[in-house]
Structure 1
Amino acid sequence: MGGSEPGRDSLAPRGDSEPGRDSLAPRGDSEPARSGLEPSAGPAPDGEPSFHPYHHPSAGWGAAKTVGQVFVRERTFVNGPRAIMRMNHENVGFDCPGCAWPDDTKGLHLDICENGIKHVTWEMTPKRVDRSFFAEHSVTELSDWSDFALEDRGRLTEPMVYDPATDHYVPISWQRAFDLIGRTLRALDSPDQASFYTSGRLGNEATFLYQLMARELGTNNLPDCSNMCHEASGRALTASLGTGKGTVDLKDWEATDALFIMGVNAASNAPRMLTALAEAHRRGAQIVHINPLVEAAATRTIVPHEFAAMATFRSTRTSTLNLQPRIGGDMALIRGIAKAVLEQAKTDAKALDQEFVDRHTTGFDAYRSLCEETPWELIEHQSGLARDDILKAARVYRDADRSIISWCLGISQHEHGVDTVREIVNLLLLRGNLGREGAGPCPVRGHSNVQGNRTCGVDHRPAEAFLDRLAEVCGIDPPREHGLDTVGAVQAMHRGDVKVFVGMGGNFALAAPDTPYTHAALRNCDLTVQVSTKLNRSHLVHGKQALILPCLGRTEKDHQREGVQSTSVEDSMSMVHLSVGMKRPASKHLLSEPAIIAGMARAALPDSPTPWEWYIEDYDRIRDTMAQVLDGFEDFNRRVRLPLGFRIKQPARELVFRTPSGHAEFSTAPLPDIVPAPGTLSLGTMRSHDQWNTTIYSDNDRYRGVKNLRTLVFMNKDDMRERGLTEFDPVDITSTAKDGSQRHLHGYLAIPYDIPRGCAAGYMPEMNVLVAIGDYSKQSNQPIMKHLKVTITPTP
């Protein structure tokens, strides 16, 4: 790590004190928000709402047509096609800023998807939000705009600070912005009065610097989007196997005999999975989809890069069995499959891998007794499925030599999410589906580097061994007390215990639960700092002082003193690889995320021994330090430049279990009662197809047959009939929290849908209003966004 430390002003771009206007933004006002408790998240509809059940293959020509429309809308006629040829290409391209599905390992030249292209072109738009835009529009005025309209105005171009006297954001130099942050952080009574949030867009190098800054300041308040998504998965896998990650990779998907896909809307949330599903079906693998809704990915697909299939409209099936448990009924279903396997093992010695169980697990006898004592009637009642249907899935599992169980937020965002994931592991252990090709647990991460964020230190509950190495290598004394997660941070801001909130990417004001409560919490802060590429709701729901710090996007070249820099990301299957931007930055006044973090750190820690500026000159220097601190990152700079990068070693894949017993551990949680009370429904929030996290591209949801509408609720037709409802009738939705408090949405439109009786579904972030801040899982602290107790009545 040799080299001299540069001057501290090297973080700021030239001409920082007087940023240029550099705007291509069109003039005129955008569409105002629709009325209602929640902010509108989409554009004004360009027609009447309509609903027609979707009966076509996923992807295919529908996706191709949409991509063309996106290029036209975002005016990316040159950069859009260029991006297609560079996105997800090993060592020469940039990593898609969308989902975390692994890159193809065979040199595919179009390893892309419709939603990834939407995400990239949304970032590459020529539209600009500059100082003249902020001079023209007050925060009060912008607060009435829809969330679509805010982001649609284009890329942020220079740092801005809120002026309470005029209610406008005004330009500020980078150095003055850093000074404001540093001065405010140094004035706190305790470093725990600050909270440092990140979304999954942050690269590994920036992630490492971010957590280093927070811990050198003296706090572990590092909430992240995992706290709202896969926290349950990590805790469950750690308890069962001693690792917080899945153990499989793409080669395992190519070799497995059976895939169980649980709580995943792959066509929208991980569209490149469709290629793996189609290939698995063609080679004869069994594919079981388990979801309350039969999504488009669970039927058929035409993979766009398969040109012959596109030319002949030839689709491939992506499932051999679809099961629709009631919301929250997945654990009972898995228990039923395990019970069936154990019953068969009494007469078929091959049904159970007794040798694997004896050598590598503990707690089996207690689990077997639990399954035997759980009556089929209870399993049917809690899962919402008939015994015969459960036995169909059990036969698939029993007949497969190698099985993978994959899941997403439909499993984790529940009160009993940890227990459900542990039950999945129990089932895998019964037949030795671990530590061999084509088998194992496979959580699907929904954001491109959210797993890398956790790997590289953004964790409010850091391990002691990690802190010891951080202290030794970086020469700091990191705090040992656990910090605040997302829910805890919101509650602390609301109480006034946290006074500074820094958001590194994302749109916290909309992503967090209990929208009015979260907004009040943010407004209670002394300072809010948002590092962003585009204008969003979190810039308008701000503290007494507020900064908007614009950063480079992943598609853009990152020029530093030693040349163009690359950053690394970790995908959903633990592969780490480089990402290199391809285009000129949207403004000459943008800084990279590592540079912004280093600027904040130097201002807050003027006497820090950490060579912040030296790190930013060349990101290889950051990686050299990371290699000394992080398990699995040894020889980081060389290995990350190998073809396809490298895979972080997973001990459980090698049948090494870092659990207290040294074995894989069966769990014995009782089945929870998840059946809704009479007159109530279980409601799950989800994304539409034309949406990525809180970013809304339109009010359409092609795969569910919806046009020009987001304020809707999908319901079982019998539940609608019972309430005297017909299609598009307006309804009021009331959620009841654990503490008895209620939250309401008014005038949503009811749509009959193929969903189990007693269940309903609608879109986040609009429905985050219904999620009480106190309604989080006691197992994972995740907000219970997939299992709300609601009543739905006709709007008077």
Structure 2
Amino acid sequence: MTKKTIREYDGPAGGWDSLRSVAKHLMAQDVAVRGARTLLSMNQPDGFDCPGCAWPDRDHASTFEFCENGAKAVAAESTRHRAGPQLFARYTVAQLAGYSDHWLEDQGRLTTPMRYDAASDRYLPVQWDQAFALIARHLNGLDSPDQAIFYTSGRTSNEAAFLYQLFVRAFGTNNFPDCSNMCHEPSGVALKQQIGVGKGTVSLQDFEQADAILIFGQNPGTNHPRMLGELRDAAKRGAAIVSFNPLRERGLERFADPKDKLEMLHSGSTRISSDYFQLKIGGDLAAIKGMIKHVLERDAEALARGDASLLDRDFIAAHTTGFDAFAADVAAEPWPTIVEESGLAEAQLRRAGDIYLQSERVIACWGMGITQHKHSVATIHMIVNLLLLRGNLGRPGAGACPVRGHSNVQGDRTMMIYEKPPQEFLDRLRDVFGFEPPRAEGYDTIGAIEAMGDGRAKVFFGMGGNFATATPDTAATHRALRNCDLTVHVTTKLNRSHLVHGREALILPCLGRTEIDVQAGGPQAVTVEDSMSMVHLSAGINPPAADGLLSEPAIVARLAEAVLGTRNAIRWRWLTEDYDRIRDLIARTFDEFHDFNTRVRVPGGFRLPNTARDRIWVNPAGRAVFNPHPVPTDNPIHRARVRRADMPVFNLSTLRSHDQYNTTVYGLDDRYRGVFGERRVVFAHSDDIAALGLGAGDWVDLESLADDGVRRTARRFMLVAYDIPRGCLAAYYPETNALVPLSSFADEARTPTSKSIPVIATPHQPRPDASAPAPRDIPAALVR
């Protein structure tokens, strides 16, 4: 076990430490030889797609597209460790629930379907047919199909997602909460409103031509390491890279590419950000509006001198609407408000504005540091407003780039894993498959938790993911899941959600992305869609972790047969004998997937059409829309500081450690931030720590100050002095998810506000009954 230490890390992102980390994780999972061979087959036409993030591959044909966290994902899935029936015979569910999330997943790959037995508080083996019969009995016994919830993870392939939504809609509901509801929902909502397509508009080739790349609320060194290669190349050719982030993140500062032999030989690195602006948590909208205000002021000065406009007036006239009202709103916004709410000086904002004006082609990227706030949709509108001013949409080297998380989260939404399906899509389902799909909107993630909590929903089915740990308001979510009659999870490994179960529960183990999927028609490949709308094949190369594992498409097909019987004419299991048959149905359902099987077999796959990239605006206005928004001054953090003027109120952002991807914890280190062997830490400015009368290394309890008045606490966090603005804190999730109110979500998009939580910090007080030492690997949440 890693010794618990806090020490400054002065190396670059990537480099030798990255290679050493990969070797350590391969050894820990006992896959050193096979794992290395597997890594060499990643991202090749005849290999498999990385099961990690959705950052695209360069033509999907690299001999070795190195990515540290992708390697960790491969090692974790390729592990020789097994979590078979013997594990569940040894531990009750109550005992398993006492172990950490890292320990649970570290037990290895699940091998056998398991059914919860309340009498013994254990999971016991169950046959596949019995498991499907149990699910069918519960689903068919509901008063309404809308009493069932069908969750989807972003790792689900296009083929599995399409079959899944087809089955669920044939069953009769649109209850499709998914991971998009918790991450990039505001991106889809805002972009669809403003430019008519809910996806980014750029390709990797655009990064080769951009003069400036703006990065908002994103930490690519940990969350999308392959992106650093594109940023490095852009920096080397002289492009400006401007980062807006409350924390100093090593991946945005320096990067040593493990594929660059010369750089590695000389222990060199490349500077990434030309400018780094540490704004307040949630201050992005104000900062971007400040840049825009500077641009418009400089344009007015140029026109007054008789010079040419600094804006792309032709583009604005031909392709946009609302500019005059927007410009008036910006002019009316006072600089002091912008400065106060952004946390940046006026000179810094004008510097950022000048970089924008000096750059002919600009890409704006953003991550969940933008999307998990109350005003997320408005912030994304403001990013696009900035791009529109100089025509930075629909031309090479420029555009909007929301950087999504899991490998197929964008593809799942394209396959219509969506609680609000368009009516024209439902019409197409009816015409192609001969049944009338449900028309009413379903539950999103927050709505699903509320429905399970109050009894409106009685069955929860999770296609991958770790719902109990990924969601906000941990206590409320756990109560909701435990209130279900049945919970079912399709998964590769044991996680917390399997231990927060309904009155009856099933764990259904499935094949991983790295494994050979043999069906009646032979070995199969699935497809995924990356963040830049490229669709490509992925075929596993490892033998299955256990005999009898089913693929996700096979699980959906057998479930559909068990539940629907002869209620429709779809030949579910026949479709999964050859996944080309599923892709043929996708092509019949979605026009943009025409000739799917032919086009996807071209090395690198194909790119889906993007109307905004072609400057075709498919929204009610028929044009790109300038959307004015005031700088927010009445968000939860503002109100909390008014209510608790007696003590410091901090704005807390949740984030990942470097040894983590989403809820999967690969290890207990966060190398780039200098944290080793510990996860219950809270990053704070040294002056804020001193103002609390405490020192770095002291332990505090955190309490969120929600508008609903409910007291939510997370106990025992070590204070770590860090380069972060005063008044701001940061800590890892899922440890701090308990602090996020279910009732606090993004306007219009309902994404939990996990990046802006008003909290107070007080010295940790052990509970009176905490005399006994905690067992090894017990999660710190249970240490009293």
TM range (shorter): over 0.9
Q: Which residue of 1 aligns with 2:759?
A: 790
C-alpha separation in 1, matches of 2:677 and 2:88 = 29
Decide which of 662, 666, 690 is 2:626's aligned counterpart: 666
Decide which of 181, 201, 205 is 1:251's aligned counterpart: 205
C-alpha separation in 1, matches of 2:72 and 2:630 = 43
For the 8 Å contact 1:775–1:783, the answer to whether it is kept is yes
Amino acid at match of 1:748: F
For the 8 Å contact 1:687–1:693, the answer to whether it is kept is yes
Gap regions ≥5 residues in structure 2? 303-307, 766-784
C-alpha separation in 2, matches of 1:247 and 1:659 = 15
- Tell me, what secondary structure is at the counterpart of 1:255? coil
- Tell me, what secondary structure is at the counterpart of 2:208? helix
Decide which of 688, 693, 700 is 1:724's aligned counterpart: 693
Deviations 1:110-165 (A, max 9, x none): 11201000011101111111122212211111111111111111100011111111
Q: Give the Å deviation of 1:379.
A: 0.6
Q: Which residue of 2 aligns with 1:16?
A: none
* Identical positions, percent: 51
Amino acid at match of 1:688: S
Deviations 1:31-80 (A, max 9, x none): xxxxxxxxxxxxxx542x32222221100111011111112111112211
Paired residues in the alignment total 750
For the 8 Å contact 1:685–1:785, the answer to whether it is kept is yes
C-alpha separation in 2, matches of 1:145 and 1:54 = 29
Q: Give the Å deviation of 1:346.
A: 1.4
For the 8 Å contact 1:232–1:412, the answer to whether it is kept is yes
- Tell me, what secondary structure is at the counterpart of 1:355? helix
C-alpha separation in 1, matches of 2:555 and 2:98 = 30
For the 8 Å contact 1:533–1:550, the answer to whether it is kept is yes
The reply on whether 1:740 has 2:694 as its aligned counterpart is no
Q: Which residue of 1 aligns with 2:372?
A: 413
C-alpha separation in 1, matches of 2:590 and 2:742 = 34
Q: Give the Å deviation of 1:743.
A: 0.7
Q: Give the Å deviation of 1:319.
A: 0.9
Q: Which residue of 2 aligns with 1:504?
A: 463
C-alpha separation in 1, matches of 2:348 and 2:179 = 35
Decide which of 8, 20, 39 is 1:84's aligned counterpart: 39
Q: Which residue of 2 aligns with 1:342?
A: 296
- Tell me, what secondary structure is at the counterpart of 2:301? coil
Deviations 1:299-328 (A, max 9, x none): 111111111111111211111000011000
- Tell me, what secondary structure is at the counterpart of 1:734? strand
C-alpha separation in 2, matches of 1:240 and 1:510 = 33
Please list, as runs of the form range in 1=range in 2, the aligned pairs for 1:464-475 lying within 5 A after superposition: 464-475=423-434
- Tell me, what secondary structure is at the counterpart of 2:32? coil
Q: Which residue of 2 aligns with 1:23?
A: none
Decide which of 341, 348, 355 is 1:396's aligned counterpart: 355
Q: Which residue of 2 aligns with 1:559?
A: 518
Amino acid at match of 2:357: R
Q: Give the Å deviation of 1:624.
A: 0.5
Decide which of 647, 650, 654 is 1:681's aligned counterpart: 650
C-alpha separation in 2, matches of 1:143 and 1:741 = 25
- Tell me, what secondary structure is at the counterpart of 2:505? strand
C-alpha separation in 2, matches of 1:686 and 1:475 = 45
Decide which of 449, 459, 462 is 1:490's aligned counterpart: 449
Q: Which residue of 2 aligns with 1:184?
A: 138
Q: Give the Å deviation of 1:104.
A: 1.2
Q: Which residue of 2 aligns with 1:26?
A: none
Q: Which residue of 2 aligns with 1:776?
A: 745
Q: Give the Å deviation of 1:738.
A: 1.8
C-alpha separation in 1, matches of 2:450 and 2:39 = 42
Q: Which residue of 1 aligns with 2:55?
A: 101
Decide which of 273, 277, 289 is 2:231's aligned counterpart: 277
Q: Which residue of 2 aligns with 1:647?
A: 607
Deviates more, 1:645-654 or 1:157-166: 157-166
Q: Which residue of 1 aligns with 2:217?
A: 263
Q: Which residue of 2 aligns with 1:32?
A: none
Q: Which residue of 2 aligns with 1:30?
A: none
C-alpha separation in 2, matches of 1:361 and 1:775 = 33
Deviates more, 1:152-161 or 1:666-675: 666-675
Q: Give the Å deviation of 1:350.
A: 4.2
Gap regions ≥5 residues in structure 1? 1-44
Q: Give the Å deviation of 1:446.
A: 1.0
Q: Which residue of 2 aligns with 1:240?
A: 194
Decide which of 692, 699, 707 is 2:661's aligned counterpart: 692
For the 8 Å contact 2:525–2:537, the answer to whether it is kept is yes
The reply on whether 1:442 has 2:397 as its aligned counterpart is no
Q: Give the Å deviation of 1:347.
A: 3.1
Q: Which residue of 1 aligns with 2:774?
A: none
Deviations 1:742-767 (A, max 9, x none): 21122211111111111000000010
C-alpha separation in 1, matches of 2:494 and 2:334 = 54
The reply on whether 1:72 has 2:27 as its aligned counterpart is yes
Deviations 1:326-365 (A, max 9, x none): 0000000000111111111113334200000000000000
For the 8 Å contact 1:492–1:498, the answer to whether it is kept is yes
Decide which of 726, 730, 740 is 1:757's aligned counterpart: 726
Q: Give the Å deviation of 1:631.
A: 3.8
C-alpha separation in 2, matches of 1:281 and 1:401 = 16
The reply on whether 1:291 has 2:245 as its aligned counterpart is yes
Q: Give the Å deviation of 1:777.
A: 2.1
Deviations 1:204-253 (A, max 9, x none): 00000111111111100000000000000100000000100000010001
Q: Give the Å deviation of 1:779.
A: 2.1
Decide which of 307, 332, 343 is 1:384's aligned counterpart: 343
Q: Give the Å deviation of 1:106.
A: 7.8
The reply on whether 1:571 has 2:530 as its aligned counterpart is yes
Deviations 1:576-609 (A, max 9, x none): 0000000110011100000001111111100121
C-alpha separation in 2, matches of 1:350 and 1:588 = 68
Q: Give the Å deviation of 1:464.
A: 1.0
State TM-score, norm by structure 1: 0.93
Q: Which residue of 1 aligns with 2:8?
A: 53
Deviations 1:555-585 (A, max 9, x none): 0000000110100000010000000000110
Q: Which residue of 1 aligns with 2:588?
A: 628
C-alpha separation in 2, matches of 1:334 and 1:604 = 51
C-alpha separation in 2, matches of 1:112 and 1:273 = 11
C-alpha separation in 1, matches of 2:36 and 2:569 = 45
Amino acid at match of 1:269: N
The reply on whether 1:323 has 2:271 as its aligned counterpart is no
Q: Which residue of 1 aligns with 2:106?
A: 152
For the 8 Å contact 1:199–1:505, the answer to whether it is kept is yes
The reply on whether 1:314 has 2:268 as its aligned counterpart is yes
Deviations 1:249-305 (A, max 9, x none): 100011100000111110000000110011001111000011001101111111111
- Tell me, what secondary structure is at the counterpart of 1:487? helix
For the 8 Å contact 1:489–1:498, the answer to whether it is kept is yes
For the 8 Å contact 2:587–2:594, the answer to whether it is kept is yes
C-alpha separation in 2, matches of 1:785 and 1:315 = 33
C-alpha separation in 2, matches of 1:625 and 1:107 = 27
Q: Give the Å deviation of 1:107.
A: 4.0
C-alpha separation in 1, matches of 2:60 and 2:161 = 29
State TM-score, norm by structure 2: 0.95
